[in-house]
């Protein structure tokens, strides 16, 4: 028997956030023009995680068979912010590796961002599991 409530994929399949929208949001310049594949990979991972976390079909009646509605702007913004953080970490690691390879002393300064390293779903949690399917 098929599961009556399969894993939602609404964000993965209907989010308007793509590599171009992400680059505009982040003001990524021409130096990163060849990064689209990596950006799309990051966006896909973030969207999968949002679907798993929210467990929301984003339909008019919250059921998988309902008429789809647009993904809320709060979710689109969350996707961009979280993907930007992953992209930033990747760039920082590359810069650190470059410094290490050049023999420069690698000084890691604490920026006080440790709390920002944890994903904060609070702005979108009001959209979580409207049918009470996962019991959170």
HEC sequence for the chain: CCCCCCCCCHHHHHCCCCHHHHHHHHCCCHHHHHHHHHHHHHHHHHHHHHHHHHCCCCECCCCCCCCECCCCHHHHHHHHHHHHHHHHHHHHHHHHHHHHHCCCCCCCCCCCCHHHHCCCCHHHHHHCCCCCCCCC
**Where does the pLDDT of residue 78 fall: very low under 50, low under 70, confident under 90, or very high at 90 and above?**
very high
**Where does the pLDDT of residue 101 fall: very low under 50, low under 70, confident under 90, or very high at 90 and above?**
low
How far is 3 from 6, CA to CA, in rounded Å?
6
The confidence score (pLDDT) of residue 28 equals 85
In angstroms and rounded to an integer, the radius of gyration of the C-alpha atoms of the chain is: 18
The confidence score (pLDDT) of residue 87 equals 86
Higher-confidence residue: 43 or 132? Answer: 43
Token reading at 32 = 């990163």
Q: Does the pLDDT at position 128 exceed 90?
A: yes
Note if the pTM is more than 0.85. Answer: no
Could you tell me what percent of the chain has a pLDDT over 70? 74
Mean pLDDT on 29-55: 89
66-76 confidence digits (pLDDT tens): 999 999 999 99
Mean pLDDT of the chain: 82
Q: Does the pLDDT at position 110 exceed 90?
A: no
């Amino acid at each position: 028997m098929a599961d009556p409530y399969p894993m939602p994929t609404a964000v993965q399949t209907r989010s308007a956030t793509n590599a171009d929208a992400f680059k505009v949001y982040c003001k990524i310049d021409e130096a990163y023009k060849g990064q689209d594949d990596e950006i799309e990979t990051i966006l896909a991972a973030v969207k999968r995680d949002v679907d798993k976390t929210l467990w929301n079909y984003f339909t008019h009646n919250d059921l998988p068979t309902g008429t789809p509605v647009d993904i809320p702007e709060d979710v689109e913004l969350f996707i961009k912010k979280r993907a930007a953080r992953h992209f930033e970490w990747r760039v920082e690691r590359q810069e650190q590796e470059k410094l290490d390879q050049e023999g420069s002393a690698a000084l890691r300064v604490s920026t006080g961002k440790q709390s920002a390293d944890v994903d904060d779903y609070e702005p979108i949690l009001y959209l979580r599991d409207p049918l009470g399917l996962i019991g959170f």
